[in-house]
């Protein structure tokens, strides 16, 4: 699935993707960018409609160097995007709160990816099905083969848009606070509160046949190697 | 701090904020909108620069019916926004994965808020300090009174923008999967995997005086009433 990762190791910074604020936190490495995209569950899609920016949260999937989003043909966002307008898609993972000795130096640890480009309507059925599989497997690996596949009506009732991951950058902050030198003597606790997205006990559907066992990919669901339950 | 909440109970839906897709998931109630904003830690700010949409993650704070964002005077985003251009700010809380019996009906439980408007540079020092306090207290209540307050240089080195929360809506999905009737007989586990943002063990700063005790607001940090450790 990720064969092309071997070929692309970094995306050339563009005027838009160049990290200007604290550039040492920026990365254009494809493995860094793909890792963030693969851990995230929701992206924020930015587009312009009648001069007004919209930012809409939605699910996504990745196949190699293509990001897919999907939804109903009635969606204003998808109707706008398939016209080939400019789009910005951002994925943000929040890793911790950084508590400094001064209010000014408080911060957050995070990993984010910003992708610019234009989205294209996926019309090829083979690519569309591969994208739909990527959505499901992105959220929960192992699920696609167990569930009923999309039928013709469902395929027709789903719009899939593709966005090439070409003009993209990541920004990452890690570690503790960076205080002003004079503040290190202040009697204030300083450090990091790590944050993690954790799965809690699965809730069976009210109509679930009680004979059906909980799959391991549900009971042991973890978002990343770092995710705890 | 939230006295005005008593006055405003709902925001009138506008053309932009009206929830068109699955309208029964939409809400214009200020208490719903404020609760989501107060639980979230990161917003995604959408703005247009040279015809290109940008979506940038950043921290925020709320005082009554005003949302504040802040950053360096060198920030491209803040320089653009203080020109009074249109902005869209979105906050999304991910609450769970919804596993249906068909790929098509998989979904996510979430609570999101979308706010439209134009941002204004905060020039009044009293309001600016109140906004900076709101940023800190929004992230971790009880922190502001313990840390060193911003000095004149830090105040000058921070831009604060205000956005009135007027044109705003929330969208909320809860509960289990909604499968096609024929699929309920499929031998597939279905239900919800709840997700929570959890704090793990605090990491003291490497230069922390070991005499300084861990404050309760750090050791017991929870993002919401529902947040688990």
Res. A181 pLDDT band, cuts 50 70 90: very high
Q: Which residue of B has its CA nearest to A147?
A: B102
Using CA atoms, how far apart are residues B89 and B80, in angstroms rounded to an integer? 14
Proportion of chain A above pLDDT 70, given as a percent: 94
Range of the domain at B137: 3-195
Q: Of B151, B177, B194, which is closest to A200 when you measure between CB atoms? A: B194
Give the mean model confidence (pLDDT) for residues A9-22.
84
Q: Which residue has the tokens 């994208």?
A: A131
Task: Tell me the pLDDT tens digit for each residue of A119-153.
Answer: 999 999 999 999 999 999 999 999 999 999 999 99
Q: Any chain B CB within 8 A of the CB of A68?
A: no
Instruction: Quote the pLDDT of residue B7.
Output: 53
In a domain, B221, yes or no: no
Residue B151 lies in a domain: yes
Residues A165-177: b if buried by 16+ CB within 10 A, e if exposed = bebbbbbbeeebb
The pLDDT value recorded for residue B77 is 83
Q: Is residue A201 part of a domain?
A: no
Tally the domains of chain B: 1
* Whether A54 and B46 lie within 8 Å, measured CB to CB: yes
Chain-wide mean pLDDT for chain B? 91
Distance from CA of B5 to the nearest CA of A (A): 25
CA distance B69 to B37: 13
| 8 Å CB contact of B89 and A55 | yes
Q: Residue B210 falls within a domain, yes or no?
A: no
**What are the pLDDT digits (tens) for B207-223?**
999 999 999 999 999 98
Long-range contacts of residues B211-220, Cβ cutoff 8 Å, at least 24 apart: B212/A187, B212/A188, B212/A189, B213/A189, B214/A189, B215/A189, B215/B142, B215/B146, B217/B140, B217/B141, B217/B142, B217/B143, B218/A99, B218/A189, B218/A191, B218/A193, B218/B140
Identify the closest residue of chain A to B100 by CA–CA distance. A147
State how beta strands B66-71 and A26-27 pair.
Answer: unpaired
Q: Provide ipTM, 2 decimals.
A: 0.92
Question: How far is C-alpha A182 from the chain's CA centre?
Answer: 39
Query: Residue A121: CB partners within 8 Å, gap ≥ 6?
Result: A82, A159, A160, A161
Average pLDDT, chain A: 91
Q: What is the CATH number of the domain that holds A48?
A: 2.30.110.10
Whole-prediction pTM: 0.92
Higher-confidence position of A105 and A18: A105
Closest-CA residue of A relative to B139 is: A97
- List A residues 144-173 in contact with B (Cβ-Cβ < 8 A): 144, 146-151, 154, 157-158
Tell whether A181 is within 8 A of chain B (Cβ): no
Q: How many CB atoms lie within 10 A of CB A78?
A: 24
- Cross-chain Cβ contact A144/B103 below 8 Å: yes
Q: Write out the H or E segment, with its range, that includes residue B61.
A: strand B61-63
Cβ neighbours of A75 (radius 10 Å): 18
Cross-strand pairs, B164? B66
Residues in CB range of B108: below 8 A, 6 or more apart: A41, A42, A59, A139, B94, B95, B96, B97, B98, B173
Alpha-carbon gap, residue B159 to A36, rounded angstroms: 29
* Nearest of B103, B95, B94 to residue B190 by alpha carbon: B103
Residue B96 near residue B108, CB atoms below 8 Å: yes
Residue B225 has pLDDT above 80, yes or no: no
Spatial contact of A94 and A110, defined as CB atoms under 8 Å apart: yes
Residue that wins the pLDDT comparison between B128 and B24: B128
Write the pLDDT tens digit of every residue in A64-84.
Answer: 999 999 988 888 788 888 888
pLDDT value of position A82: 82
Residue window 91-130, chain A: list those with CB within 8 Å of chain B: 92, 94, 97, 99-104, 106, 108, 110, 112, 114, 116
Q: If DSSP codes are grouped into helix, strand and coil, which group holds residue B34?
A: helix
Could you give the C-alpha distances from A20 to A26, B76, B156, in angstroms and in order?
9, 8, 20
Q: What are B68-86's pLDDT values in tens digits? A: 999 888 887 888 888 888 9
Distance from the Cα of B179 to chain A's closest Cα (Å) equals 10
Residue B222: inside a domain, yes or no? no
**Helix runs in chain A, H state only:** 30-39, 76-81, 125-139, 152-156, 216-219
Residue A109 maps to a domain? yes
Sheet holding A120-121, edge to edge: A61-63, A66-71, A159-164, A120-121
CA–CA distance, B38 with B32 (Å, rounded to integer): 10
User: Do B79 and B160 touch, CB atoms closer than 8 A?
Assistant: no
Would you place residue A1 in the very low, low, confident or very high pLDDT band (cuts 50, 70, 90)? very low
- Please give the pLDDT value at position A6: 46
- B212 falls within a domain: no
User: For residue B42, is it within any domain?
Assistant: yes
Give contacts of A137 with chain B, Cβ < 8 Å: none
Q: What are phi and psi of A130, to 5 degrees?
A: -65, -35
Q: Tell me which of A33-37, B18-22, B188-192 is least confident.
A: B18-22
Residues of chain B with C-beta less than 8 angstroms from the C-beta of A103: 132-133, 136, 143-144, 147-150
């Amino acid at each position: 699935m990720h064969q092309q990762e071997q070929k692309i190791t970094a995306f050339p910074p563009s005027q838009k993707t160049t990290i200007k604020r604290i550039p040492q936190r920026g990365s254009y490495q494809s493995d860094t960018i793909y890792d963030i995209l693969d851990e995230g569950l929701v992206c924020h899609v930015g587009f312009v409609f009648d001069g007004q920016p919209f930012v809409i949260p939605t699910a996504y999937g990745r196949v190699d160097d293509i990001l897919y989003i999907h939804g109903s043909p009635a969606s204003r966002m998808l109707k706008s995007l398939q016209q080939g307008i400019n789009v910005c898609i951002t994925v943000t993972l929040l890793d911790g709160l950084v508590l400094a000795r001064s209010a000014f130096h408080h911060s957050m640890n995070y990993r984010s990816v910003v992708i610019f480009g234009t989205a294209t309507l996926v019309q090829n059925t083979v690519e569309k099905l591969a994208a739909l599989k990527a959505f499901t497997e992105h959220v929960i690996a192992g699920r696609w083969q167990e569930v009923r596949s999309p039928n013709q009506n469902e395929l027709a009732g789903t719009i899939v848009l593709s966005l090439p991951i070409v003009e993209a950058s990541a920004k990452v902050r890690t570690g503790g606070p960076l205080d002003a030198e004079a503040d290190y003597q202040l009697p204030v606790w300083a450090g990091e509160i790590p944050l993690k997205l954790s799965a809690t006990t699965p809730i069976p559907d009210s109509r679930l046949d009680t004979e059906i066992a909980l799959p391991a990919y549900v009971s042991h669901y973890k978002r990343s190697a770092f995710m705890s339950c």
